[in-house]
Amino acid sequence: MGLKRFIFRRLVEIAVIFFVIMTILFVLFRLAPGDPVSRMVDPSMTPEDARLLMETMGLDQPVWTQYLYYLKNAATGNMGISFHYGEPVSHILMNRLPNTILLFTTSIILSALLGVFLGKIAAWKQGERIDTLMTIGALFCHTLFLPWLALIMIWFFAYWVGWFPITGMVSPEVWIDPDAGFLIKALDVLHHMALPLMTLILIHFGSYLLVMRSSMLETLKDDYILTARAKGLDEKTIRDHHAAPNAALPVVTSVGLSLAFSINGGALTETVFTWPGLGRELVFSVSHADYPLAQAAFLLIAIVVLLANLVVDVLYAYLDPRIRY
């Protein structure tokens, strides 16, 4: 099968899966007990008020009608108005998405780079003290409870030492200052990003290190490594230019999927660091039964993950000439 035909077939599959996900999402939210209005515990709000609010949200319509509106809106790219923000859902998501991408994509890339770098050294020094230290360190960091680590990092680096801001993405005093230029603002974001980034890298680099180490150990047994040695190449060249690129293939798959999933942010990371991303909105929208916002956020994640799978498949064929569709 040619690559174009493969991509076309996968796109059709993605469309079908996407439709199924849309329907499941719609059903799941309607099956959940309660509704956005029932949460409003205020004895001064009359049943008439509740009925009017349900009407404004379109929840007074039969479920089938709501479903048809939902499909129609999705087909036209209109994901509705958030019940709580009173704004188009697309505005809210587009406001939050870049923040999530900035933090989590950066963290995944840096974690992978660090993991690959340390993983190849660990494999190369297999059985030595440095290998043991790195493997145990990677396992330890990977199993740390993220909110705990995040709080410790904030307490130490932001509160105790005072190197970084405690939370948030920007400093209001910088951003409301008309004299602050682009560079200052960009550096301010970088400054705020450092702590969540360090936390995420600490948590995630271990898994990449272990994957890389394991893959590298397999690669080092291959004949072409022996050939390289026989050719008299120095150890560093063999490690970095012959073994490591091949051993990094499983890491590429892992990074690809992680990047896709990264758009859902990490609700915990975003909450502890008050990072205004998609993860926090997801938690808010689900817990407050803001159906349009929650549905749109999940659909966005679904479409990105589905497309990322396709991209990884195609990338594999590019990276490994032995793979053909």
* Residue 42 binds to another protein (criterion: CB under 8 A): yes
Q: Binding-site residue total for another protein (CB under 8 A)?
A: 70
Q: Which two tokens stand for residue 34?
A: 């309660």
* Residue 142 binds to another protein (criterion: CB under 8 A): no
Instruction: Judge contact between 196 and 108, C-beta under 8 A.
Output: no
Q: What does the per-residue mask of binding to another protein show for 261-300, with x meaning CB under 8 A?
A: ---------xxxxx-xx--x---x----x-----------
Instruction: Judge contact between 306 and 18, C-beta under 8 A.
Output: yes
Q: What does the per-residue mask of binding to another protein show for 181-220, with x meaning CB under 8 A?
A: --xx--xx-xx--x--------------------------
* Residue 176 binds to another protein (criterion: CB under 8 A): yes
Residue by residue, DSSP assigns 14-79 as HHHHHHHHHHHHHHHHHHSSS-TTTT---TTS-HHHHHHHHHHTTTTS-HHHHHHHHHHHHHTT--
Query: Looking at beta carbons only, is 1 or 41 nearer to another protein?
Result: 41
Query: Looking at beta carbons only, is 13 or 55 nearer to another protein?
Result: 55
Instruction: Judge contact between 122 and 134, C-beta under 8 A.
Output: yes
Minimum gap (Å) between residue 158 Cβ and another protein: 7
Q: Which two tokens stand for residue 79?
A: 């994901």
Contacts of 309 (CB under 8 A, 6+ apart): 257, 260
Residues at the interface with another protein (CB under 8 A): 32-35, 38-53, 55-57, 81, 84-87, 95-96, 99, 151, 154-155, 158-159, 162-177, 180, 183-184, 187-188, 190-191, 194, 270-274, 276-277, 280, 284, 289
